[in-house]
Amino acid sequence: MLEALLLMMGLGAVSGVLLGIASKVFYVWEDPRIALVSDCLAGANCGGCGYTGCGACAAAIVAGEAGVGACIVAGADGAEKVAAVLGMEAGAAEALTSMNTCTGGFRASEKFSYMGVNDCRAAYLLYAGAKDCDVGCLGFGSCVKACLFGALEIGSEGYPVVEAEKCVGCGACEKACPKGIMQVRKPSDRILHMNLVTDRIAPCRQTCPAEVNIPKYINHIKRGEYDEAWLTVMERNPLPLSTGRVCPHPCEDACRRALADDPVSINQLKRFCSDWVMNEGTSLKIPVAPDTGYRVAVVGGGPSGLSAAFYLRRLGHKVKIFEWLPKLGGMIYYGIPEYRLPKAILYADINRILGLGGIEVKTGVEFGVDFDLESLVGGGFDAVLMTIGAMNHASARIPDEDKVEGVVPATVFLRKQGLGDPYLVGKRVGVIGGGNVAMDCLRSSVRLGAEKVYCLYRREVKDMPANKVEIEACQHEGIEFVTLCSPTRFITDDEGKLTGIEYLKNELGEPDASGRQSPVAIDGSETVIDIDNFILAIGQTTNSAFADEEGTAASRLETSRGAIVNNADTHQTAIPYVFTSGDCAGPPGLLVAAVGAGRRAARGIHKYLMGEDMAFSPDRLRVDSRRMKGHIAGTIFDSIEGIQRKGRIGQPELEPGSYERQHTYAEVDFTVTEEDAVKEANRCMRCCLTCYNQDT
C-alpha cells in the first residue's frame, strides 16, 4: 500500500515537472487587452465584422488588423469604449445599412410553379428560381431568417422590407441572398454608384441624367412622406427646387404610364416635395463621411460645380469654390429669368449645399487672371475641378453682327438681367434661335416692354430643341414665330442703328446627322422685318483661352472646339490632378445633366485622391436621353395591361395675357397642391425592371 502511494507521488512529481517544462516551452502569451476589448463588443457572434466571432474580432482589433469600429452591432458607443481601452481616437465612421434593390414581389410573373424547400438558395438552384425576371427577388425570405436583429421582413407586396432603426449593417442578409438583391451600403457607396445594366431599375430612372430614384420618391409622396421623398431626390440631385422648375424631364418620355394615358408628372412631384421641405423649414440631416484630409478647388460656381462640391463634401473632402461673378449659380442664376426660376428659390438650393459645412466660397475672382493652377496647388489643394460655364456666344455668321448698334448676344442680354441691370429693348425685337435660351430672351423681351417680338428659326417649330412647354408659353404671350428663314444682313440707319433684319426663306432638304431635314435657302426670297433690337441665341461656348498661354500648367490641357478634353467617365484631363465637368467639358446641356456630371466628376476625384481604380464597371448603363436610346433590354414596352385611364394633373400657372404675366417677372408656373400631388403620385405604377402595379 505504501509502495503504491509512493509510486503515485513519484509519478505526480515527474508529471508536474514535465508540465512545468512544457508550459515554458509551449507558452502562448495573450494580450490582456483582448479580453478587455471583447467586453466592449456586442457579444452577438454574428460575423458581421468578417471574423468568426467576437473573440476573433477583439484579437484582430488589438493586433491592428481591424479598426476600433469593427463591431458594427456595438456601433459608435462600442467604438468609443474600444478606443479608450487601446488609448486611441475612435474617429467617425459612416453607418452601414441594408437595402433591397428589387420591388417586384408578387407582381413578378413566374416561369413555373416551384414546390420545393421554402428557401431562396434552394429555389435558386432550379433554373435561378421560378420568377420570370432573372434578377428578381424570389421572396422566400432567406435574408429574413439570416438577420439576427429583426430588421427584415417580407412585406405585404412580397419583397424584403428593411427597418432601418434595427439594421446594424452586419451583412448577413447580403450573404444569404443568392441573387445579390440585398446589399449593405454606406451613404458614400450610394453616391459613387452609377446605374448599371444589371440594376433593377425602371425606364424613368434609366433615362434621368442625374439617376434619381424616381419611383421611390413618388411612392413616398403617395404615402404622405414628403421629407423622405426629398431626401431620396437629394441623394442624386442637390438642386431639386431649381430642377423642379426648369428641367425638361426626359424621364417622362420613358414613363410606361404614357402607353395607357399620360406620363406621370414626375417633375411636378419633385418640385412639390422640395417646396414642401423648404416651406416647412424642415431641418433634415444629410450624412457626410469622415474628413479625409484632402482639399479640392472647384473653379466655377454653376450647377455642375455646385453639384460636385456637394458630393465631394459628402465624401469627406474639404471644398473651396472660386467664382468670377458676384453670385453662385452660373447660367442658372445669370441666364434663367426670374419668371421661370426665382433667385430666392435657387439660393435656397445653394444654401442647402453650403449648409453641409466644409465648403468655402470666393466670388469675384477669375481663373487665369486672379489665380491659376500653380497657385491652387501651392495653396494646398490636392485636386482641381474646372467647371467654367459657357458664357461666350456663338456667331450667327451675319455680317457686322458685333458692330451694329442694337444687336446683342443672348449671354450678355440675360447676364445683365441677372445682375439687375436689364438691357433696354425697343418696341420691336427679333431673336434668332430655337433653344431654351432663345425662349428666355423672347419672353424676357415681352416683360421689358417690347410690343412686337419675333422668333426667327431656320427649320419648323416642331424641330426646335426648346422645351415644348417653353414654346407654348411663348405662343401664349403673343410671340410670333418666323420659321424656315435664314437671316442674311442687318439693315441700319445713317447712324448705324439697327432698323431691320433681312432673311431668305428656306425649304427643307435631306436629313442631316441629327436626323432633321437640312434647311436650304431659296434664292430671290429676300424678306425684311422691321426691328429695333436683335438677340443672338444660337449657342454658347466656353472661354478656354487660358489653355493657350505657354509656360503655364494650364497649357498642358488639351482643348477641342473650346472645350477641355477629358475622360468622359472619370472626368480626368491630361493633367492627373485636374478634372473638368459641365459646359467646359463639352457642348452646353441641360441643368439636370450638369448635376449628374457634377456627381460623376466628384466620383472621379474621390477615386483619384483615395488611390482607387477610377474606371467604371463594364456594365455601366449609358442612356441617350435625348434620343431615347440605350435602355436596359426588355424594359421599354409596346403595351401595358390592367391600367385604367386617368389623365395627369395640369400645370397651374398665371393666366395667359394677364398683366402679371406679360409685364412682371412674377413666377409663371405654380407648385401643385398637396391633394393633386398625392393624386398624381397614385398614378405612378411604381415600375421595377419589368414589373409594374396594375389598377385591376
Could you tell me what percentage of the chain is helix, strand and coil, using 3-state DSSP and rounding each to the nearest 5? Answer: 35, 15, 50
The band of 543, judged by pLDDT with boundaries at 50, 70 and 90, is confident
State yes or no: pLDDT of 554 exceeds 90.
no
Q: Convert the pLDDT of each residue in 228-248 to its tens digit.
A: 999 999 999 999 999 999 999
Q: Which of 78-92, 366-380, 499-513 has the lowest average pLDDT? A: 78-92
Indicate whether 458 and 593 sit together in one domain: no
Residues 6+ apart with CB under 8 A from 121: 142, 176, 178
Indicate whether 524 and 462 sit together in one domain: yes
Q: Helix (H, G, I), strand (E, B), or coil: what is residue 580?
A: strand
State yes or no: pLDDT of 403 exceeds 80.
yes
Indicate whether 372 and 419 sit together in one domain: no
Indicate whether 87 and 98 sit together in one domain: no
Q: Convert the pLDDT of each residue in 617-650 to its tens digit.
A: 999 999 988 778 899 999 999 999 999 999 999 9
Out of 74-78, 418-422, 640-644, 668-672, the most confident range is: 668-672
Query: Which helix H or strand E contains 469, and what residues bound it?
Result: helix 468-476
The band of 18, judged by pLDDT with boundaries at 50, 70 and 90, is low
* pLDDT > 90: percent of the chain: 69
Indicate whether 515 and 576 sit together in one domain: no
Q: Of 75, 93, 111, which residue constitutes the final position of a domain?
A: 93
The pLDDT score that the predictor gives to residue 551 is: 66
Indicate whether 513 and 410 sit together in one domain: yes
- Between CA 75 and CA 70 the distance in angstroms is 9
Phi, psi of 437 (to 5 degrees): -65, -40
* Number of folded domains that form the chain: 4
Beta-strand ranges (E) seen in 181-312 are 182-185, 295-299
Domain membership of residue 467 (yes or no) is yes
The pLDDT score that the predictor gives to residue 492 is: 96
Indicate whether 61 and 87 sit together in one domain: yes
Query: Which domain, by its residues, includes 129?
Result: 94-185
Over range 334-352, report the average pLDDT.
96
Over range 656-681, report the average pLDDT.
95
* pLDDT > 70: percent of the chain: 94
- Domain holding 103: CATH number? 3.30.70.20
Q: Convert the pLDDT of each residue in 193-212 to its tens digit.
A: 999 999 989 999 999 999 99
State yes or no: pLDDT of 13 exceeds 90.
no
Spatial CA neighbour of 558 closest among 546, 542, 547: 547
Domain membership of residue 71 (yes or no) is yes
- Between CA 110 and CA 494 the distance in angstroms is 80
Domain membership of residue 378 (yes or no) is yes
Joined together, the cell numbers standing for residue 588 give 452646353
Phi, psi of 687 (to 5 degrees): -65, 145
Domain membership of residue 559 (yes or no) is yes
- Domain holding 462: CATH number? 3.50.50.60
The chain-wide mean pLDDT, for the chain, equals 90
State yes or no: pLDDT of 363 exceeds 90.
yes
Domain membership of residue 231 (yes or no) is no
Phi, psi of 276 (to 5 degrees): -60, -50
Indicate whether 304 and 326 sit together in one domain: yes
The pLDDT score that the predictor gives to residue 578 is: 96
- Between CA 592 and CA 623 the distance in angstroms is 14
State yes or no: pLDDT of 60 exceeds 60.
yes
Q: Helix (H, G, I), strand (E, B), or coil: what is residue 506?
A: strand
The pTM of this model reads 0.88
State yes or no: pLDDT of 677 exceeds 90.
yes
State yes or no: pLDDT of 331 exceeds 80.
yes
Domain membership of residue 48 (yes or no) is yes
- Domain holding 79: CATH number? 1.10.15.40
